[in-house]
Structure 1
């Protein structure tokens, strides 16, 4: 079989959805690498400063826009990306899966989230970018700035939980609801980190891209394992 014919045959065997997700993962990883490279070269400074100061009162970088009420709300939102809240929510979903007698899926989910946490710590330790010093920090921070751990773990945890919960639903609208809520929560957490002055915008973008890539990879692996009988199949055959 000639090469073009072999390539065509391979493409037909690989589902369209799988190809799309693989391209999305590749794009997210490329974006993370590009952000990291630009950050190391110092080319993101103007971009980061502009967005960070846009969330502050003109002429007074110590005062976030929106007043005290918005600042309190942002502190509440940023807690949604913290270890305590993510652990509680993860344990709730794991319990849900066990009660549905999907123990293999629960174990897979636990490993996926722990793996994402490990990846977050590994990437953060590989960079030593200082936290923003243009504005006061509204919450305490102790680690380096790049990438945003809250943003990444919010994306990893909420999106991974969403795709696993979506597998228990047969209705497309419910699946879409889970994914949409997860994406919105991850975005809100990232925005709150910039608003509170503890991360540069590019830190958050890097956290989102790497977290999304991880969650998409988990979804692909779950589909394959379900088809091979290693975890429970979804309520509806995976597309």
Structure 2
């Protein structure tokens, strides 16, 4: 079978390699400096109203809200588009992302930050579960909706909203002291790999079936 969309496969592998490189560098001076500088910069902008905003975005990235949002979106996609294969892709991306996050946390066992913490978490830190779930959920939703939005302006709005939510969830975890910046970056890299890889597989399977 001829492999279609090789650029997607290459991108997914580049993201995976970047994640592996970051994961192998967690205890180095470079990553430690990267984390420290970003955390210190965030400390300078903390204020009560911004804290409320960050708590909100952190909340919608938690497992229960993500599950509720996912179920609602699943039902909407089914009712609107009736595309069984798209719903299978939606489920694979989200379930796979969750399983990978659990496995990666157990493998790397990185302790969470101990300074400037505003929330208490019991699981390991790397990679950020909130950030992985956010990229998987809003990434696959953007992909599925993009294919059904004909106007360029609508696609721009979709990309803008999805990117904003995704970035705010990641930043909120750093702001609240739940994660190091490298935890969030690692989550984006791995979840990005999984999202792009599954989309590549979906495109190849759909075109060949």
Q: TM-score, normalised by structure 1?
A: 0.79
Q: Distance in 2 between matches of 1:151 and 1:206?
A: 9
Count of paired positions? 207
Paired position in structure 2 for 1:50: 37
Compute the displacement of 1:169 (Å): 3.0
Question: Which consecutive unaligned segments of at least 5 residues does structure 2 have?
Answer: none
- Provide runs of 4+ in structure 1 moved above 6 Å: none
Residue 71 (structure 2) pairs with residue 84 (structure 1):
no
CA distance in 2, matches of 1:20, 1:176: 22
Find the partner of 2:9 among 16, 22, 27.
Answer: 22
Q: Within 2, Cα distance between the matches of 1:21 and 1:104?
A: 19
Going from structure 1 to structure 2, the CA distance change for 1:107 and 1:24 (only over 3 Å counts) comes to closer
Q: Please give the alpha-carbon distance, in whole angstroms, between the structure 1 residues aligned to 2:161 and 2:61.
A: 14
Does the aligned pair in 1 maintain the 2:39–2:175 contact within 8 Å?
yes
Following superposition, the deviation at residue 69 of structure 1 comes to 0.7
Alpha-carbon distance between aligned partners in 1 of 2:152 and 2:204, rounded to the nearest angstrom: 20
Q: Does residue 1:186 correspond to 2:166, yes or no? A: yes
Structure 1: 5+ residue stretches without partners: 1-12, 58-64, 230-239
SS at match of 2:123: coil
Residue in structure 1 matched with residue 107 of structure 2 by the alignment: 126
Is it true that 1:116 corresponds to 2:103 in the alignment? no
Normalising to structure 2: TM-score of the pair? 0.89
The one-character-per-residue Cα deviations of 1:113-164 (angstroms, maximum 9, x if unpaired) are 11111111111111111111222x2122111111111111111111012112
1:18-167 alignment, distance < 5 Å: 18-41=5-28, 43-57=30-44, 65-99=45-79, 100-135=81-116, 137-167=117-147
Q: Which has the higher helix share?
A: 2
Q: State the SS of the aligned residue for 2:205.
A: helix
Stretch moving more, 206-215 or 167-176: 167-176
Aligned-partner Cα distance in 2 for 1:159–1:79: 18
Aligned-residue offset at 1:43: 4.4
What SS does the corresponding residue of 1:152 show, helix, strand or coil?
helix
Distance in 2 of aligned mates of 1:222 and 1:164: 11
Kept in 2: contact 1:152–1:210 (CA 8 A): yes
Query: Which of the two has higher C-alpha Rg?
Result: 1
Aligned in 2, Cα 1:20/1:219: closer, same or farther, shift over 3 Å?
A: same
Relative to structure 1, the CA distance from residue 171 to residue 225 in structure 2 (aligned partners, 3 Å threshold; closer, same or farther) is farther
Cα distance, 1:176 vs. partner?
Answer: 4.3
The two structures, once aligned, show a CA RMSD in angstroms of 2.0
